[in-house]
Amino acid sequence: MFQQKIKEIDPISDFKEEKYLEEWVMKYRSLGMKGRCADYIPALGESNRSDLGVYMINSNGFEMKAGDWNVPFTLQSISKVISFIAACLDRGIPYVLNRVDVEPTGDAFNSIIRLEMHKPGKPFNPMINAGAITVTSLLNGDSPEQKLESTYALIEKMIGKRPTFNENVFQSEWKTANRNRALAYYLKENGFLESEVEDVLMVYLKQCSIEVTTKDIALIGLILSQNGYDPIHKRQVFPKQIAKLIKGLMLTCGMYNASGKFAAFVGIPAKSGVSGGVMASVPARCRQKNLFQTGCGIGIYGPAIDECGNSLAGVELLKHLTEVYDFSIF
Ligand code: DON
């Protein structure tokens, strides 16, 4: 189906564009060697720092990919976007926002400081660990399995297949998640969790260990760019109101304590994960006439991260693409 769409566009010039994409990946790949993999989760420390891949898909189904686009990696914090959408679908936006705010923190993703400083300890946003753990506890179902199923079912609907699960990464993080346990106990004490601590941690960490490729997250980014509408399968997956809310959160909080710089210098809603994935969603409003003018989803993977937890090479590649294709929403 995608192949037919490609022909409708312009196969000759599109082919050239993919060749450029490959060159840009080559250019930024070496940046990975300046960063580190997220070895606070021991299994992630084994990733190959020089991997870099990208997948882009527009609203006509035209796709472009380069580098290590097909290497599987775990969602990590990109899962925060999906669990937030699932919780809003399950419980409604007002219920969710009663338990988690929509304000950026400027702190590290696993910081505990603001939970105690701002009473009554409501997490600032669902893109930091405290907020995502809270949101995860709100998912439909009484058991961890049922809650996890809410997130899985939504992903399956968006990427058209059941994603795989990385047991090794999950076990590695489960054994070492002391900071997340501390956050969860604090949230429980303040009445924000609707599950037992170990149960919600299991769901949260299992969501983080769901395995995807750049293509999968590009498809999710595309659906977000079309306000919850899947232009490939021609159906509304979630309401526009939820899409607008999560894109606002991605823009202001999606790249952690580098979100301000990312908004200023890249200017599109995006969400990173410590495994090196970046999911970006480009709305249909860039001014330049080009292949991605009607909106697109971008998936990037580059496992070496910077001190904020964002893919070093991935962010630079995204900056470059933004300049070439005029992606910034500003
Ligand atoms: O909870 C954690 O620390 C990880 N499973 C996810 C953190 C993460 O991806 C932050 N990202 N940049």
What is the DSSP code (8-state) at residue 142? S
pTM of this structure: 0.94
ipTM above 0.90, yes or no: yes
Atom of ligand 1 nearest to the CA of 132: 1
The rounded distance, in Å, linking the Cα atoms of 298 and 83 is 19
CATH number at residue 154: 3.40.710.10
Same domain? 157 vs 275 = no
Pocket probe for ligand 1: among 44, 105, 129, the residue whose CB has the most ligand atoms within 8 Å is 129
User: Measured in angstroms, how far is the CA atom of residue 38 from the centroid of ligand 1?
Assistant: 9
Write 263-269 long-range contacts (CB < 8 A, 24+). 265/319, 266/315, 266/318, 266/319, 266/322, 266/327, 266/328, 267/322, 267/327, 267/328, 267/329, 267/330, 268/322, 268/327, 268/328, 268/329, 269/224, 269/329
Q: Which of 227, 327, 330, 311 is nearest to 25 (CA)?
A: 311
256 marked ligand binding residue: yes
Same domain? 181 vs 241 = no
Q: Which of 307, 319, 316 is nearest to 35 (CA)?
A: 307
In 98-192, alpha helices (H)? 113-117, 129-137, 144-159, 167-176, 178-189
Predicted pLDDT at 269: 97
For the annotated catalytic residues, the residue numbers are 77, 80, 204, 256, 274
23 marked ligand binding residue: no
Atom of ligand 1 nearest to the CA of 40: 3
Same domain? 226 vs 320 = yes
Residues of the chain with pLDDT under 50: 1-9
186 marked ligand binding residue: no
Of 173, 208, 243, the position where a domain reaches its end is: 208
Same domain? 126 vs 218 = no
Same domain? 129 vs 170 = yes
Predicted pLDDT at 103: 86
Predicted pLDDT at 316: 96
Same domain? 121 vs 193 = yes
User: Measured in angstroms, how far is the CA atom of residue 73 from the centroid of ligand 1?
Assistant: 13
User: Measured in angstroms, how far is the CA atom of residue 76 from the centroid of ligand 1?
Assistant: 5
Atom of ligand 1 nearest to the CA of 308: 12
Predicted pLDDT at 222: 98
Burial class (CB in 10 A: 0-12, 13-18, 19+), 94: exposed
What is the DSSP code (8-state) at residue 39? T
180 marked ligand binding residue: yes
**DSSP codes joined into one string, 15-33:** HHHHHHHHHHHHHHHGGGG
Q: Which of 237, 321, 235, 326 is nearest to 283 (CA)?
A: 326
The rounded distance, in Å, linking the Cα atoms of 272 and 287 is 26
